[in-house]
Amino acid sequence: MLGGAHRLGGREGTSAKLAVTMYAIVTATLRHSPRCWTARRTATTIISGNKTSLQVRERLKRDVEKMGAQFPGFRPGLVVLQVGDREDSNLYISMKLKAAAEIGINANHIRLPKTATEAEVLQRILEVNENPAVHGLIVQLPLDSIHPMDTEKVTNAVAPGKDVDGLTSINAGKLSRGDLGDCFIPCTPNGCMELIRQTGVSVAGKKAVVIGRSKIVGAPMHDLLLWSHATVTTCHSKTADLAAEVGQADILVVGAGKAEMVKGEWVRKGAVVIDCGINHIPDSSKASGKRVVGDVHYPSAKERAGFITPVPGGVGPMTVAMLMENTVQSAERFLQTYQPGKWNITYNKLNIQTPVPSDAEASRSCSHKPIAQLAKEIGLLSTELDPCGETKAKVHLDVVKRLQKQPDGKYVVVTGITPTPLGEGKRTTTLGLTQALGAHLNTNAVACVRQPVRGPDFGIGGGAIGGGYSQAVPSEEVNLHLSGDVPAVIAASRLLSDAIDARLFHESTLSDGALYDHLVPLKKDQRKFSPAQLRRLKKSGIKKTDPATLTEEEVGRFVRLDIDPDVSAWGRGLDTSSQGQSPMEKRLTRAFSTSVASEIMAILSLTSGQKDMQQRLAKMVVATNQNGEPITAEDLGMSRALADLLRDAVKPNLIQTLEGTPVFVHTSPFCDIAHGNPSILADKIAMKLVGPEGFVVTEAGYGADIGLEKFCNIKCRSSGLQPHVVVLVATVRGLKLHGGGPTVTAGGPLPKEYEEENLSLLEQGCGHLRRQVQNARAFGVPVVVAVNVFPTDTDAELDLVCHAARLAGAFDAARCSAWAEGGAGAVGLGEAVQRAAEEPSKFRFLYNAELPITDKIRTIAMEMYGADDVELLPEAKRKVELYAQQGYGSLPVCMAKTPFSLSHDPDRKGVPAGFVLPILDIGVNVGAEYLYALVNATVAFPDWPRFHDAEADSETEPDA
């Protein structure tokens, strides 16, 4: 014998070096006679877990560096979740975090207090499961909580693909079946196998004994040895003649948790002994009074074993190393499908039919993904989603905060020529372009569109969610009330109307004291002002906060709003029928308006969040007092109630196109009286989700002269976002009408000029196209013209329009057949948009908001409409002076003008000239933060709606 053992990787003396040499000779000899290896060994080799773990960590460090070189900025992510503050757990966690840092793994420690409940722990696990930056999750055991914890339930809540501890039932099941390449192996058994491999001993054909049957060590160790072709016996506390079983083991793994239970004389000579135990026994020679030992009596066992692991310094370091190994392995699996900045998304295959069927038939011919699947594909967490059934969901606003460091994507706004009764297909183009960018050009793409309202659906307009094979689904639900946003706006509007009526009634029937008792009631012998009432006091010039200290005069000043019933400032909300007033309503002048024309809808569209929304609602001017001074929703104490009604409506709605690309449908402000764009919140969330190389395709209502102008001058001022590309939608038949073609009626037969080639008529109409390209370019953004193709268009006509668009200064022009072909029909448009987005954007506003009100109106009229000048009627002049005095003069201007002509006359098509734009009146939406100039008295819906003819679809809604 060479006398004594030596540590692998340690600093040995001469005898130790000789032992290594002799070991190499013996090992080489035994390779040719494996059955005799145990009998011939005379020296014990101590297997150093410290050295082996260091080798593993160095290898992993190189692997992580390779990942970073291949995918700049990428690092494997690890989270350790701890409940409570146990000292031993803290020690283990610090070791794991230190090892992760050395390797280059981005490790985070989440510590929940001892008061954490099981539900709270499960919620945090769910959040980590869904975080794509985390590839490994460890739940530190034991769970040190004052509340009952089901450890099995908690560990099984970890996603199997992130279960780097290998403790979930799924990973354990795969291991037991032998699916070693498709699971995570528990770290301690995995470390044991690595230590056995370090000995050079082949496991195949050997007799292995495992003492202990725990889920963490014994059971998985048995499976690993078995699938490595050993003959395995598992022993435990009930095993008869344990010493005899141990004496037969070529490989012995002990994880019983009992100090020095395996005696040296039990061990077969030359056996490999892996000791997983960590126990403390009394030792007066130690300062702590105790020392650490394993489950094997080390001094006697090392005299018989061929290889043995020390305690400490054996299996322990390997457990941490294998944890890091599993984390890196998880990251490598992630990278197999990872494309930097790209979603891992599946798209739906269209079942294209010719001729194109009805929109309803086209929608039903395609399968749709569950909305939870789509949300996950685009990077939303389940905690950021409120599903509304299987097809739609509300998205929480805090996703913007989570992704605040994520660069924004490319911002594309779709507008069009001045619309005609024939329809230009702007919404269809918007959705088709998004499908092309996503499903066909492999780019992250989200469409953001306005929400249809029941007015169009039950009026004459029909649905408004695209058409053919470029539409959003579920179309029926979207066209009705989706998730209830519009009904919420109507409810808020009517609540405000009721509050005004109630205040008028009470102020006319109650004394100041009685009003005060109602507004500031006595509760438990005390009165208390609400936050809104404190602001009302400040506005009234009363510098008191104690309700008991107000004088009679101050009480009267506080409670009396003195609303003038003859001045209408707030309309009662409707959504389908005509505006007007019942003859029965004699007491109060009350106008009626649609929900989409309400300032509440405009605020919902322009707000940046819940807090901002309430502040904007508070500022709304809802009435006028007898002195002509404005009365706000805050004066009525209504802002909190209104915000509560809208707390869900402020969240964007997620749906999908027929091809499975994401669509945000949110808010529906009209473009004649409001700004006519989808919500800022939808755009901002989408911009974060798509990432810097992705595209957000949003829309602007009506033509470039109205919708795009308001998008840039109103919405972009509020949001801070700037478009990279403008897509201008045009049609051959629409341009023919602008060229002097005969009048058409929606739904009626088309004159032959629109169904046959007529290049001269089309050439005249291209003057209107040139004007709208000029309007779009006025904002300093590249313009791509999308020619929406209809079956009656000829190649010569389409070529003419594209040529005219380029001559007018468009960056490019492309045919778009998205209605008939889905995203495939808009690929050319998508490629043109991608090229245009690479051009430098020199975005600019049309006017400086600090200009006088009249100058802003004049700039819009002359630059966008081609007017010679503007004429302010007496009421408009009075309002200009009033609003300038009230401090509203620096707000942007929203023009309320007919959308059917560049001028104020809807019958003047083409490029009207030589006209002066009349301004009938000017109003202010203080909460929405814009002035609106009334050019036309716009009627949004007809007097007689279509809801009388509506019937259920028996094919999709069978009887119960």
Alpha-carbon separation of residue 359 from 48, 225, 354 (angstroms): 71, 61, 13
Q: What is the DSSP letter of 746?
A: T
Give the containing element (helix H, strand E) for 420: none
Contacts with 939 (C-beta within 8 Å, 6 or more apart), sequence order: 578, 579
What is the number of alpha carbons within 13 Å of residue 669 lying toward its C-beta?
Answer: 30
Structure tokens at 674: 């409001």
- Annotated active-site residue 96? The verdict is yes
Q: List the beta bridge partners of residue 592.
A: 572
Q: Are 267 and 274 in contact (CB under 8 A)?
A: no
CA angle 272, 274, 275 (to 5 degrees): 140
Contacts with 315 (C-beta within 8 Å, 6 or more apart), sequence order: 49, 188, 191, 192, 195, 274, 275, 276, 309
DSSP annotation string for 644-685: HHTTTTTSPEEEEETTS-EEEE-----TTTS-----HHHHHH
List own/partner pairs for 536-540 with CB under 8 A and 24 or more apart: 536/634, 536/635, 536/637, 539/635
Structure tokens at 509: 């029937």
How far apart, in whole angstroms, are the C-alpha atoms of residue 627 and residue 624? 8
Of 61, 66, 96, 715, the catalytic one is 96
How far apart, in whole angstroms, are the C-alpha atoms of residue 189 and residue 220? 7
The H-assigned helical ranges of 838-933 are 853-860, 874-886
Q: Are 740 and 911 in contact (CB under 8 A)?
A: no
Q: Which residue has the tokens 């794991």?
A: 96
Structure tokens at 286: 């130690």
Candidates 145, 280, 276, 295; CA nearest to 216 is 276
Residues 46-84: b if buried by 16+ CB within 10 A, e if exposed: bbbbbbbbeebbeebbebbeebeeeeeebbbbbbbbbbb
**Other C-beta atoms within 10 Å of 809: how many?**
13
The H-assigned helical ranges of 446-550 are 454-458, 475-480, 485-509, 512-519, 531-539
Strands 470-473 and 572-574: unpaired
Residues 460-485: b if buried by 16+ CB within 10 A, e if exposed: eeebbbbbbbbbbbbbebbbebbbeb
Q: Are 430 and 743 in contact (CB under 8 A)?
A: no
Q: What is the CA radius of gyration of the chain?
A: 37
Candidates 214, 240, 210; CA nearest to 222 is 210
- Active-site residues, by number, are 96
